Amino acid sequence: MSDLKETYSQIARASLVIMVLTLADKILAVLKEMLVAHRFGVSAELDVFNVAYALPGIITLIFSGAFVSAFVPLYLEWSRLSSGLANRYTLALLYAVTLLSGLLAVLGAVFSPFLFSLIGYGFGPEERQLGAVMERCLVFLVLIDGSGTVLRALLHARKKFFSLSAAPLLINVVIIAMVVFADRLGIYSLVWGFLLGTLFKVIYMAVVIQRDGFNFAARVSFDPSVLKAFLVLALPLIGSELVANSNLLVDQVMATQLSPGSVSTLRYAMRINDLPIQIVVIGLTRAIFPFISDQALSGDHDGLRHVFSRGVVFLGFLTFPITCVIALFSEDIVTILLQRGAFDEAATRGTAATLVLYGLGLFFYAYSFLNATFFSAMKDTRPLFYMGCLSVVANIGLNLLFMRLLGVQGIALSTTVLLALNSMVFFVLLRKRLRLTNVLETLNSFLRMALAVAGMYLAGFLLQGLAHSMQTGPWIRFPAISVLVGLLYLLMIRLLKTRQLEDCLDICYGLIRMLKRTGA
């Protein structure tokens, strides 16, 4: 038990570092979205940019997710044998991935008119021509960020969480600078912002890794057995990431059939919904991954079960009240963040309605990160691939169904339904693999959280009605009522607590104490 406490302590410290830096990054991201909304609103040219960016963005996301998940457990194994050997194997992968990324970028540039015509088939001729030019530039993100994937994986494996989380800050800083100071470029200020920001991020990671002792000039070791071991893990993950993340591209491609601005509406809502996941959940799963990989290598199955069950309950503890707040205040949130300049009241209403339907799936979205982390740590990646394949087909079918009923909001609802179905299947699979015995205890904790959220929603609904009758503005209404109902939620959790929920409260108190010490 003392080992578990030490593991939790390390995970908490790492999570705190990641969350603080991710929060800083997301504050910059919100500022970026505010500037983009003010400048471009939900215009057709922004739709074109979002679709053009989606293809290279998803390709780099696929490589990054698969590479990190396959690399971390293998690097830990290599490091146990020899740090020099781990350095040489990593360098070989760096050269190979950079070469492959460069090839993909060149092919993308050559075939950009065809590619954009394919993914932007719902656009008119002028939009497709603009998109082809933007695509030709943006595909070089594959080369830049592709080489950076190895550096990111190495930082992750070495538990350099500060640098890992600080690097993305540079992207938003550069984009903001381009939108503000190079507005004469129009929509291309976003194109060059992403390219330059990503380049600076990769350079920063390379400098940090070199200072940490990594030798970029070391002799390269191309060991076929090592390459085979990596491919055995990585290929199913690449397939899984491809089919899972391709749903993001599918959603935006299908949204091009709807009215102008639909792609941008979808993108704005998705990014707002993504904020709590990026700040808290990804920080938690990034921190957990190296530790549970060590547990899997050591055969510590009790430790894996304990971390998983507490992780699932903690995700519910965090995401349930956030979903409640989104359901109550979606219009206020969008108004505060985006409604200015070219982003008008109609855009606010459409984005808010889309945000609510995304928010209903927040827990399932969060669980997908935790789920993938455990499958990767146990080197059992095939289920991720098989379910990913099924999800693409299911996503297209659900989109077609719900788009006819709800338009762009139907795409958000389709995503929520799909995430819920995937999560249920994956939980059953992990329950068997981890041999979980406390499922009833976990369900009991979720039932009590649901009761607490129901009380929170009722109180929020009544307070919101009172605030509207007093003509209170969103800048006061949203934060004031959110704080009040959040405190009510914590009080009810304290009264309805189980052992697992008490652990969640202890984690929160521990993070607060660490923040106080950091501030001191």
Q: Is the predicted pLDDT of residue 123 greater than 80, yes or no?
A: yes
Q: Is the predicted pLDDT of residue 103 greater than 90, yes or no?
A: yes
**By C-alpha distance, which of 318, 295, 319, 298 is closest to 307?**
295
With cut-offs at 50, 70 and 90, classify the pLDDT of residue 501.
confident
Place of tokens 């304990």: 306
For the chain, the domains span 2-519
Average pLDDT over residues 413-426: 91
**Considering the chain, what is the average pLDDT of its residues?**
83
DSSP E strands, 263-327:
none
The Cα 472–Cα 331 span in angstroms is 14
**Of how many residues is the chain composed?**
520
At position 263, the amino acid (one-letter code) is: V
With cut-offs at 50, 70 and 90, classify the pLDDT of residue 508.
low
**By C-alpha distance, which of 368, 509, 444, 428 is closest to 8?**
509
For residue 393, the number of C-alpha atoms closer than 13 Å in the C-beta half-sphere is: 4
With cut-offs at 50, 70 and 90, classify the pLDDT of residue 511.
low
Q: Is the predicted pLDDT of residue 81 greater than 90, yes or no?
A: no
The Cα 309–Cα 438 span in angstroms is 8
Average pLDDT over residues 268-296: 69
Q: How far is CA 338 from CA 34, 176, 272, 273, 343, in A?
A: 5, 15, 10, 14, 7
Rounded to the nearest 10°, the torsion over CA 309, 310, 314, 316 is 20
pLDDT per position as a tens digit, 178-191 = 999 998 899 999 99
Average pLDDT over residues 410-414: 93
Residue ranges of alpha helices (H) inside 339-407 are 345-359, 362-377, 382-406
pLDDT per position as a tens digit, 49-62 = 999 998 888 888 77
The Cα 176–Cα 35 span in angstroms is 8
At position 217, the amino acid (one-letter code) is: A
Place of tokens 């098989």: 386
With cut-offs at 50, 70 and 90, classify the pLDDT of residue 520.
very low
pLDDT score of 373? 73
pLDDT score of 369? 75
Place of tokens 């507490």: 310
pLDDT per position as a tens digit, 82-98 = 888 888 888 888 888 89
Contact 116, 132 (CB under 8 A): yes
Percent of the chain topping pLDDT 70: 87
Contact 368, 248 (CB under 8 A): no
Q: Is the predicted pLDDT of residue 498 greater than 50, yes or no?
A: yes
Average pLDDT over residues 283-293: 58
pLDDT score of 387? 79
Q: Is the predicted pLDDT of residue 318 greater than 70, yes or no?
A: yes
Q: What angle do CA 107, 111, 117 make, to 5 degrees?
A: 140
Sign of CA dihedral 185, 188, 189, 193: negative
pLDDT score of 239? 59
pLDDT score of 179? 92
Q: Is the predicted pLDDT of residue 433 greater than 60, yes or no?
A: yes
With cut-offs at 50, 70 and 90, classify the pLDDT of residue 132.
very high
Both structure tokens of 162: 């500060």
pLDDT per position as a tens digit, 197-252 = 999 999 999 999 999 888 888 887 777 777 777 777 777 666 556 655 667 778 88
Q: Is the predicted pLDDT of residue 518 greater than 60, yes or no?
A: no
pLDDT per position as a tens digit, 245-278 = 667 778 888 888 888 888 889 989 988 888 877 7
Q: Is the predicted pLDDT of residue 352 greater than 70, yes or no?
A: yes
Q: Is the predicted pLDDT of residue 457 greater than 90, yes or no?
A: yes
pLDDT per position as a tens digit, 384-409 = 777 777 888 898 999 999 998 899 99
